[in-house]
Structure 1
Amino acid sequence: MKLLEHCAGFSDDELARELEGFGYPSIRHQLHHVIGAEQYWVGVLRGLMLVAEDPADMASIEALRALRERVAGATVEYLKGAGDAELNTKREVVTYGDRKVELVPAHVILRTQTHIFQHQGQVAAMARLLGRPIPPGLDFPLS
């Protein structure tokens, strides 16, 4: 995630600074949320309730990078093991609070990826507010 690389240059204070107007008020919380959401939803598809609550996972950009690698690895592992029928057939899953819903796994995976861009925009806005805008092309890399 190129955004993590950009944020690696921020001080701990900048990463933790709470800014008004954002659901997750700091860059650190934004990054942790987007990674944790993917972990949660892929876990739901696998019949697991995985909630990223360990404060050590967001203690630094290095910790977030390690969490991202673990979560992305689990997503790839799920996708490699899932055939077309698994991915494209609506099925019942259990979400937080033992709530049962019917979802198409491919839609869930797609949503985790589009969710990244929603929060990338929020982190970009936060970085601008801190006087450290993201470099050109980071939000729309074509090369």
Structure 2
Amino acid sequence: MNDDLKGFYRLVQGSRERVFAWAEQLPPQVYTAEHPEFAYGSLRNIQAHIADCYLNWVGVSGLGMAHEQIGLASDSLYDVAAMRDRFHQVDDVLSRALDSFSALDEPLEIQWREGTLPVTRRWLLLHPITHEFHHKGQLLALGRVLGHPYPPGPDTDLLLPSEV
């Protein structure tokens, strides 16, 4: 049981919810609009990439799930509601990992490309979280470029502890 990491992930989920609430207010065509100068090209594709990173690092590498258990091509996620469902899957995988991972800092070798990568279970949990926040910046920048900036008000960084 990893209570500290569970609490931290709840803050991440709340912060993600703010971005989902913003994305739900966008015209649907904006969510899937392709912009060639941005990595992954669209708001939808950026969020799908974030979800895929969680599912691959934590689900496949950490929990030993088969790729078939996590599959869904990002182009099958047409709207924010479908993306929310995808992140419910992410939340389920993270919950399972947070309940089952022990010896968080014990060295672990995982398959990576043509070789192995030395990591720890803590790294498998934290890497996709930091990766999500990196891509969230790209997501919000793309929203501005598309003429739909994130509104003033609550920050998209971690929720305050009082907000959980």
TM-score, normalised to structure 1's length? 0.86
Alignment of 1:1-143 (within 5 A): 1=16, 2-43=18-59, 44-50=61-67, 52-55=71-74, 57-83=76-102, 85=103, 87-95=104-112, 97=113, 99-136=115-152, 137-140=154-157, 141-142=159-160, 143=163
CA deviation string 1:31-55 (max 9, x = no partner) = 1110111011012111234354435
Change (3 A) 1:115 1:55: closer
Aligned length: 140
**Structure 1: runs of 5+ lacking an equivalent:** none
Q: Deviations over 1:57-91 (max 9, x none)?
A: 522111100110111111111111122x1x21111
Deviation at 1:138, TM superposition (A): 3.0
CA distance in 1, matches of 2:96, 2:82: 21
- Identity of matched residues, %: 23
State how far apart, in whole Å, the 2-side matches of 1:62 and 1:99 are. Answer: 37
- Asked if structure 1 preserves the Cα contact closer than 8 Å seen for 2:44 and 2:74, the reply is no
The one-letter code sitting in structure 2 at the alignment partner of 1:66 is D
- C-alpha root-mean-square deviation of aligned residues, in Å? 1.9
List gaps (5 residues or longer) in structure 2.
1-15
- TM-score between the two structures when normalised by the length of structure 2: 0.76
Q: CA deviation at 1:98?
A: 5.7
Does the aligned pair in 2 maintain the 1:47–1:93 contact within 8 Å? no
The structure-2 alpha-carbon separation of the partners of 1:116 and 1:48, relative to structure 1 and needing over 3 Å to count, comes to: same
AA at the equivalent of 1:64: M
2:101 maps to a residue whose letter is A
Seen in structure 2, the aligned counterparts of structure 1 residues 58 and 134 have a Cα distance that, compared at 3 Å, is same
Residue 88 of structure 1: SS of its match in structure 2? coil
Q: Report the CA distance between 1:5 and its aligned residue.
A: 1.6
